[in-house]
Chains A and B, each alone.
Chain A
Amino acid sequence: MAKAATKPVAKSAAQPAKIPSEDLIRHYRDMLLIRRFEEKAGQLYGMGLIGGFCHLYIGQEAVVVGMQAAAEEGDTVITSYRDHGHMLACGMDPKGVMAELTGRAGGYSKGKGGSMHMFSAEKKFYGGHGIVGAQVPLGTGLGFAHKYKKDGKVAMVYLGDGAVNQGQVYEAFNMAALWKLPVVYVIENNKYAMGTSVQRSAAGTKLCDRGLAYGIPGEQVDGMDVAAVRAAAAKALGRARDGEGPTILEMMTYRYRGHSMSDPAKYRTKEEVAKMRQEHDPIDRLRERLLAEKHIDENGLKNMDREVKDLISQATEFAQASPEPDPAELYTDVLIDLETVRA
């Protein structure tokens, strides 16, 4: 469960309201969609249809779904290379995401970005960044723009437990606090940066405290519980919207798969992974709750399974049928043509 924030609760952050039934069901479906999408991506990678680096989000679904549950239309999102879940949660089309993974013309970046680099101006998803930590100043800039434009929106900036050691993260924290920028920093603490555990890389492993010197309040949240994430997100987003500046949410989560497809993950025990899967799986936990509280019955869940499976099948078909980009695409989009801007 969420621990108490290190700062008093902000004024617009009401006590976590009871989550309506239809919301819970939707969160379940959104998590399931991400899970099934990622499983399929792993399979396509094995078949050689996806290349390069491919970082799966399996296990961490509750984080992004819970955050989006509290977000408003127009809030912005930016993250690292482990981005498929974020895109789906932002409402991007699984077809376009999958087709980008297969490097096809129908992908969100026309096949030019791949797994790590997708964007959607429409859905306010700002990528998809391959350099660990780089998205943090960038996301702080999104927050700066919200404040500058006085649009009342907030930037959600995701980073890993490894990224949190990069110097530019602290340069960003300082500016965000100094200028009270509407930003929520979401540290997805999945316990490992590639093969390095938090204990082996961080002096001071309570990562939500990394902003204290700048006066940025931080909170550790059970990132395997979508309701806990949603509640913490509502508070932090409210603070930001009220002009009180940034918050750090440290989501305690776990990735079930290796860092990327080529990581054998020998640095942790099978028991550790199995225990997380059995006792903390965000989807199983919500499923139990949905049934226990009678929000939905087995039949309803089965229908949802089928609906999600169909979506993934369609995305997969699209991603394989979509043609490779036209060779001429190699030269486009390097610079924006002044003529195009004038037109």
Chain B
Amino acid sequence: MSTQVLMPALSPTMTEGKLSKWLKAKGDAVKAGDILAEIETDKATMEVEAVDEGVLEQILVPEGTENVAVNTPIAVLRGEDEAEGAAPAPATAPKPAVKAEAPKAEAPKAEAKAPAPAKPAAVPQAAEPEYSGPTATQTVREALRDAMAEEMRRDDKVFLMGEEVAEYQGAYKVSQGLLEEFGPTRVIDTPITEHGFAGLGVGAAFSGLKPIVEFMTFNFSMQAIDQIVNSAAKTNYMSGGQMGSPIVFRGPNGAASRVAAQHSQCYASWYAHIPGLKVVAPWSAADAKGLLKSAIRDPNPVIFLENEMLYGQSFEVPQDKDWIVPIGKAKVVRPGNQVTITAFSRMVGVALEAAELLAKEGIDAEVIDLRTIRPLDTATIVASVKKTNRLVSVEEGWPFAGIGSEMAAVMMEQAFDYLDAPVARVAGVDVPMPYAANLEKLALPQAAQIAEAAKQVCYR
């Protein structure tokens, strides 16, 4: 009985990878646990182990092939032991359920091919208006790494600290190469002690250093939230301006894929609630780079919210080490005049998809990437609403006391006379994040929902 060996998924967000090397040849005998091949994703190189015994009968995908989709048959194994028959059966016929897996459904179409250099075509990629120098196509991951490297070259008080940031090159490979360039005094692996190293970072910032503290994900910043709120955010005020905390807390925020309730939540509104903090949540790679550079230079504590699902997406990024994006400025990423949609981080991509859906129905939506949550660029939003008279706020986090609530309040205070419809909020469903693929999808805002909300405020 023959079994197909399928291209495995090696991480929650992997949809395809490169088959870099075959370690077994046609005709080789294979035991369970033997390494068959090596696979590369944009994050790592991994080995494919055999689960069944047999003889490698056929190699279907030659080594060096890029963009092999998960679940593609890559080889055929001829079983030798009839008794083994029962287990491998499912491997030959993956249930269609696989197709509905969240990672695929969630990765925006244009980006599904990462790390191939294809850039999203439909999306306007204008850098900051003033910039006209050279650009390069980079992933968000690379842009973040470059921002840190450039600022570390520029200022030797800047250092990076966190779990797995040095030798492992970052749990999500964001700090790739930094240990090599800056050495272990400036790129520091910590024990798993978030409250401790966040506090240590704030103390170091009190005395003039400029720490970048990476949380492996922002979920773990809750271990450290007391030091962030009570120490980093308040000490400048409590000391009458003597002692600021020039520190950046950064890491992936929000839902990744199928990692369930304790590992999927958006902290934008949590930290935005706190006076004394700045909160940044970029979408594009250019903004990720320009804003992270600003955050590192900023004399205040900055919460820098990244998104794992964006790390592999590519955008045009300015290649000038002095180019930065100011904190506190939103950006119109798609001009339009019938309805304003605000979003931040990954939801900008989803909002742009929604705008395309709306365009097909003759509705011209303006999409604003907030980029900074606090201080909020109300001027840009109000200017847009004066033109469109309608606002839909989109966020991945929960609705109660969320960014959308703030948006609605700002509209009441600053644009009441211009509104032709109540502000609409599209947010994550008000429940902890479920694990099941179908429920997870229902829990997160989708483009169709945003389009629906936009139509409602347009009375269509």
Interface residues of chain A, those whose CB is within 8 Å of chain B, are: 39-40, 42-49, 51-53, 100, 103-104, 109, 111-117, 129-133, 162-163, 165-168, 193-196, 200-202, 261-264, 266-267, 306, 309-310, 312-313, 316, 320, 324-325, 327, 329-331, 334
Contact = CB atoms under 8 A, between A and B. Distances in A.
Contact of B258 (A40, A114, A324, A327): A114
A112 B51 contact: no
A166 B191 CA distance: 8
Which 3 A-B pairs have CB atoms at the shortest separation, nearest pair first? A114-B435, A51-B258, A46-B8
B191 A202 contact: yes
B44 interface: yes
B235 to A, nearest CB: 20
A330 B44 contact: no
Contacts of A43: 51, 91
A112 B11 contact: no
10 contacts: A46-B6, A51-B101, A113-B261, A114-B435, A116-B260, A133-B192, A166-B223, A167-B193, A195-B167, A266-B45
A264 B45 contact: yes
Contact of A330 (B14, B102, B163, B442): B442
Interface string B429-457: 11110111111001100000000000000
A330 B431 contact: yes
A333 B70 CA distance: 34
A165 B191 contact: yes
Contact of B439 (A111, A201, A320): A111
Contact of B260 (A46, A113, A193): A113
A103 B86 CA distance: 23
Given A52-B435, A267-B167, 13 more contacts: A42-B49, A45-B8, A47-B8, A47-B71, A48-B98, A51-B101, A112-B434, A130-B263, A131-B222, A133-B223, A325-B439, A329-B439, A331-B431
A113 B435 CA distance: 5
A104 B191 contact: no
B103 interface: yes
B10 to A, nearest CB: 5
Given A47-B6, A194-B168, A267-B167, A116 B262 contact: yes
B220 interface: yes
B109 interface: no
Contact of A196 (B32, B168, B431): B168
Of listed A52, A53, A325, A331, residue having the most chain B CB within 10 A = A52
A39 B437 CA distance: 22
B47 A264 contact: yes
B25 interface: no
A261 B171 CA distance: 13
A167 B192 CA distance: 9
Nearest to A197: B167
B189 interface: yes
B9 A195 contact: no
A77 B167 CA distance: 34
Of listed A44, A132, A202, A313, residue having the most chain B CB within 10 A = A132
Contacts of B192: 132-133, 162-163, 165-166, 193, 201
A202 B190 CA distance: 10
A324 B168 contact: no
Given A117-B262, A262-B12, A47 B87 contact: no
Nearest to A334: B431
A263 B168 CA distance: 10
A287 to B, nearest CB: 16
Contact of A117 (B14, B222, B430, B435): B435
Interface in B203-240: 219-220, 222-223
B259 A52 contact: yes
Nearest to A198: B191
Contacts of B257: 51-52
A179 to B, nearest CB: 23
A333 B429 CA distance: 14
A137 to B, nearest CB: 12
Nearest to A305: B83
B43 interface: yes
Contact of A48 (B101, B167, B262): B101
Contacts of A196: 163-164, 167-168, 189, 191
A195 B442 contact: no
Contacts of B190: 201
A221 B109 CA distance: 52
B46 interface: yes
Contact of A261 (B11, B95, B219): B11
A131 B192 CA distance: 10
B292 to A, nearest CB: 24
A334 B171 CA distance: 31
Contacts of A267: 167-168
B133 interface: no
A130 B260 contact: yes
B401 interface: no
B429 A330 contact: yes
Contacts of A195: 164, 167-168
Contacts of B12: 51-53, 262
Contact of A112 (B101, B164, B439): B439
A245 to B, nearest CB: 25
Contacts of B32: 39
Interface in B156-212: 163-164, 167-168, 171, 189-196
Interface in B245-274: 256-263
A109 B164 CA distance: 31
B102 A47 contact: no
Interface in B88-127: 90-91, 94-95, 97-98, 101-103
Of listed B94, B191, B429, residue having the most chain A CB within 10 A = B191
B437 A262 contact: no
Nearest to B220: A131
Contacts of B46: 262, 264
A43 B10 CA distance: 11
Of listed B431, B439, B442, residue having the most chain A CB within 10 A = B439
A324 B436 contact: yes
Contacts of A40: 87
Contact of A103 (B14, B195, B435): B435
Contacts of B167: 195-196, 200, 267
A129 B219 CA distance: 13
Given A47-B71, A104-B436, A330-B431, A262 B219 contact: no
B91 A47 contact: yes
Contacts of A193: 191-192
Contacts of A52: 12, 256-260, 263, 435
A103 B103 CA distance: 14
A240 B189 CA distance: 37
Contact of A51 (B8, B47, B437): B437
A48 B71 contact: yes
Contacts of B14: 262
